Every structure is written in structure tokens, then in C-alpha cells.
Amino acid sequence: MKKPIHLGLIGCGGIVQNTHARAYRSLTETVKVTALADVVTENLQKVGELFNVPAENRYTAYQEMLANAEIDAVTIATPHSLHAAQVIESANAGMAIISEKPMATTLEEADKILEAVDHGGVPYTVVHNYLFTAGMQSAMAQLDELGEPHFGRSVGMGLKPMDFSADHPTPAFAWRASKAKGGGCIIDTSYHEIYAVCALMQSPVRYVEARVQTLRFDIDVDDIAMLLCEHQSGAITTVSGAWCVPATDSGWCEVHAENGSLRVLHRQNARDALRRFSRTEGWKQLALPDLDEEGIKDASGHVGYFTATFNALAAGTALPVSAGKAYHNLAIIEAARKATTARRAIEIPQS
């Protein structure tokens, strides 16, 4: 049996403690957390105790971890504005890299990442966890039966608390509403809605019209994002996201095609996550095959994503979410911001 991948964590905050950790604990034969880096010593202690990482392998500077720890790969789970520098330094150190979304805050940064990853010859991927929920996996397996898609929708509405101050009890809440940290509705939460509906449409976006604005909160980033996208195939999708709208019917994406429609509900009980429409039966809830207890609990898809990714790393095969997919998602976001200012459609160059 091969030895497990030795993993170093850059960033050990809430998403690691509450979400990523479940995946690592379920993959003990494939991956072993052996080193940590975080500027918050309390995070180092919590995660260090969780994975029995020796004190000498807990670093407050990730550069020291990259230089000294015996690791094969890193995961990066830090504020968005830090991703580019941390990915580039990890690539230069020869590490396989798994980065939380987004890959960067601008396409200029993303280009530098791709250059570093290519130069270092290292595997690199970005967490697109919604693609690995039981509902999305089952939906994507049925796309061929649906035929050619013509319309898609994705909705992620919510009402954030009014307090975005730096002394908020949850530190991540404050930085996500900071322009300097790369926050904002579209690049933080609507990011998921964009890649999810694009996966169902099976065609890259070519034109984007949008309004990405700050309508309600006293913050320097957007709190609402409305996108109208035309795909290379000619199909149309809409993406609606907000931090300033009470959620009613929210947290889903759907595709409409020549032979019917599918709707996937995110962060729901996985047993109820997929519905299908046909002209003869109307909307019908579908049973998801081979759904075990772990699949039911994995409402965000993180366990599924990390399982597929670490298995691919161990086998030396292509990673399930390519750098190109993450780059395209960022290109859609950047085009939406430009479209808001220009008040016209923005074309995304096709690779």
C-alpha cells in the first residue's frame, strides 16, 4: 500500500475546522495532515490537536512550512487576496496545490498563478465543491439524456447581519466584506452559483451582462449580483445572488433542455436534492442512487471534492477541477464587474 500524501495546511480557520477536516478524517489511507501554517495561534492549536500534528510542525509563517516541513501537497484556505502569492510560492516549492476558491482576485493574478504552476510542473486545482454534492453528481450523469440545453438559472440569496466590523465574533465575516481582502457577494457566495449552472449548461460563457452593486450595506464591496450570460452554444443563463435579500426560494440551480429539466438544491438534505421535469409527469423528485450516510451529511460537497482530488493526486491522474475551469469562472466575475460599469455586454475571449 502506498504511503498517504503528506499534507500541509495554509490557513486553519473555520472552513478547515468545520468542513475540510471532515474530508481529511474520511481519507486517512490517502492523506495525512502533517504540518500547519496560520497567523492565529489558536487555530494552530485547534487543528494541531485535531490531527495530532507535533508542535514543531505548526508554523505562523507558511513560508517556513514550505521550506522545512516534509510535505507533498498543500491546501490553501485563507482570505482571497492571499491566494495568488501563496499558490505561487507553493508552486515554486514544488508542492501539489489545492486552493479554496477563487483562484485569485483578478485575472492578472490568475495569469501569474498559471505561469508559476506551469513552470513548476505541479498539480493545481481550485475547490468547486458544489459539483460534488450527491444532487449535482446525479444531475450531471443525466445531462446526455436531456439533450441540448437552452436555458439555465442559479439563485443564491441571503440576508447577512448588518455588522461587518473587524471585531465581529466571526473574523471571516469581516474580511469577506472587505475590498482589500478580495471580498464581495459575487466572488464569495455567487461564485458557487456561477460554476454550478455552467456545469449543467455544458458550454462556456461568451458574453456577460450584469449589475454588480452595493445597494444595502455600508461596505466597500458588492452586496448584490445579477448576471445574464450567453454561452458559446447560444444558450442563456441567469445568476442571481445577494447578501441583502431574505432567502425564500434560494440555493439552487437548474437546466432546461430539449427533453426536460433538472433542478439541484444546494445545502439541502441530500435525499431531496434533485428534481426532474418532463411534459408527461411535471416536476418529480428523484431518488439518488447509492447514497450512504456520508453522502447524506456532505451537503456542501467538500468530502466528495477532496475524495476525488486526493485520489487523483495519489494515482497521478488529471484533477477533477482544472485550472482552466477556475480561470473561466473568474473571467465571468471580472466581465460582470466590467459590464456593470460599461452598461453593456462584455465578451469573454475563448481559449
The domain that holds 94 is classified in CATH as 3.40.50.720
Say if residue 136 is in the same domain as residue 119: no
pTM, to two decimals: 0.95
Side-chain-facing half-sphere of 205: CA atoms under 13 Å: 36
Say if residue 317 is in the same domain as residue 218: yes
For residue 102, the model assigns a pLDDT of: 98
Chain mean pLDDT for the chain: 94
Q: Which residue has the cell 452593486?
A: 213
For residue 276, the model assigns a pLDDT of: 97
Q: What is the SS3 assignment for 213?
A: strand
Say if residue 188 is in the same domain as residue 315: yes
Q: Are 56 and 32 in contact (CB under 8 A)?
A: no
Give the pLDDT confidence of 276-297 residue by residue, as tens digits. Answer: 999 999 999 998 877 666 666 7
Inter-axis angle of helices 190-201 and 134-141, to 10 degrees? 20
Cis before residue 102, ω within 30 degrees of 0?
yes
Rounded Cα gap, residues 74 and 47, in angstroms: 15
Q: State the total domains in the chain.
A: 2
Domain that holds residue 101: 5-126
- Asked whether residue 1 carries a pLDDT value surpassing 60, the answer given is no
Q: How many helices (H) and strands (E) does the chain have?
A: 14, 15
For residue 166, the model assigns a pLDDT of: 62
Structure-block grid coordinates of residue 324: 482552466
The least confident of 104-108, 157-161, 291-295, 312-316 is: 291-295
Say if residue 328 is in the same domain as residue 262: yes
Say if residue 199 is in the same domain as residue 104: no
For residue 351, the model assigns a pLDDT of: 67
- Asked whether residue 162 carries a pLDDT value surpassing 90, the answer given is no
Burial class (CB in 10 A: 0-12, 13-18, 19+), 134: buried
For residue 334, give the nearest of 157, 243, 210 by alpha carbon: 210
- Asked whether residue 28 carries a pLDDT value surpassing 80, the answer given is yes
The domain that holds 139 is classified in CATH as 3.30.360.10
